[in-house]
Amino acid sequence: MSGAKTRRQTAMAAAAEKQEAAGTQKVVVENGNGSAHLKSNDVDDYPRENIYLFWPNIIGYCRIVLAVASLYYMPLHPRTCSLLYSVSCLLDALDGYAARYFEQSTRFGAVLDMVTDRCTTACLLVFLSSAFPRWAIIFQGLIALDMASHYMHMYATLAMGGSSESHKNVDKSRSWILNLYYTNRTVLFMLCLFNETFFIALYLLAFSSPFLSPGLLQQVPDVAAQEIHKGAQASSSVVGQIFTNPYSAGALELARANKMDSTIPWIVAGVSLPGMLIKQIINVVQMVKASRWLADGDLKARRAQGLPRKSKAA
């Protein structure tokens, strides 16, 4: 009897040792397709995360909603549009702070942030092109520069620096101005702020400055134009008499003439102009440096392939 008890105790002790060893060793798990991979039990110590619901990305979604709402009000409601657009831009700084505070910096969030910035600015510049037709080529050029510069910089970073490299990691040896722009948060924030503020000021001037839009009051009768110019709101009957379609180009001009004072937009535009110009210079530098980086990589790749082939002597 005692011998049987000893054997039972020995078996129980061996089973306990196996369970303990299984808790510390990696086990082989077979997939449904027959392949196998190693899985460590300590993976279970990490909670499941949903990248799409990280706080910085939620802020990014709010930015998109505000930007779309500002675009909806853009043609006829400058005050509402400017408020929504400005809040969307200011949240750009908050999502970066949230990413650092909650330790939730992700590549998805970085791309979401960049795409939102590029699209919102491009949409505003498209409106400015229609508001100031004589300067349309300048706004179209700014859109092309912004898109090309950031795309080439991002592509060069991924192609030459690797998939784990951030586009904000720019060494001073490549460009001191890009290094300062991307590593100094104050410089980055202020230049982006001045850039967007300048375009918002131009947008408000499209509704308030006949100097920039000489045809602002052309389609409005003289008496009504004088009253509107003084600040009186245009009644719906006037709109109905002059423009049968509230979404026509003429209605847009009347909305511009639905008077705003241009003093503050002029001041804001003047103050933010230098920052906007510096931002465009950085875009040019960024595009040039990315082009050179890609070209250098192409040269190294061709030399590794033995290209160009040496011509055989006759």
Q: Which residues pair with 125 in a beta bridge?
A: none
Are 193 and 279 in contact by the 8 Å Cβ rule? The answer is no
Q: Are residues 185 and 135 in the same domain?
A: yes
Domain assignment present for residue 44? The answer is: no
List, for the chain, all residue ranges whose pLDDT scores fall below the cut of 50. Answer: 1-5, 22-40, 216-218, 242-244, 246-247
Q: Are residues 137 and 279 in the same domain?
A: yes
Q: Are residues 190 and 245 in the same domain?
A: no
> Considering its fold, how many domains does the chain have in total?
2
Cis-peptide, bond into residue 47, ω within 30° of zero: no
Q: Are residues 100 and 195 in the same domain?
A: yes
Q: Are residues 117 and 246 in the same domain?
A: no
Residues taking part in catalysis:
117
Q: Are residues 101 and 55 in the same domain?
A: yes
Q: Are residues 232 and 122 in the same domain?
A: no
pLDDT at 261: 79
Domain residues for the domain of 61 are: 51-208+262-297
pLDDT at 164: 80
Domain assignment present for residue 174? The answer is: yes
Domain assignment present for residue 68? The answer is: yes
CB within 8 Å of 125: residues ≥ 6 apart = 139, 140, 142, 143, 199
Domain assignment present for residue 20? The answer is: no
Domain assignment present for residue 43? The answer is: no
pLDDT at 212: 64
Domain assignment present for residue 178? The answer is: yes
Please name the residue ranges forming H helices in the chain.
2-24, 55-73, 78-101, 107-131, 136-161, 176-183, 185-205, 222-230, 236-242, 249-257, 263-304
Q: Are residues 90 and 227 in the same domain?
A: no
Domain assignment present for residue 30? The answer is: no
Q: Are residues 117 and 162 in the same domain?
A: yes
Read off the pLDDT of residues 207-227 as tens digits, 9 standing for 90 and up.
Answer: 877 666 555 444 555 555 555
Q: State pTM to two decimals.
A: 0.74
Domain assignment present for residue 97? The answer is: yes
Q: Are residues 168 and 238 in the same domain?
A: no
Q: Are residues 241 and 292 in the same domain?
A: no
CB within 8 Å of 178: residues ≥ 6 apart = 170, 282, 285, 286, 289
Q: Are residues 170 and 246 in the same domain?
A: no
CATH code of 99's domain: 1.20.120
Tell me the CA distances in angstroms from 164 to 158, 173, 266, one per residue in order: 8, 20, 44
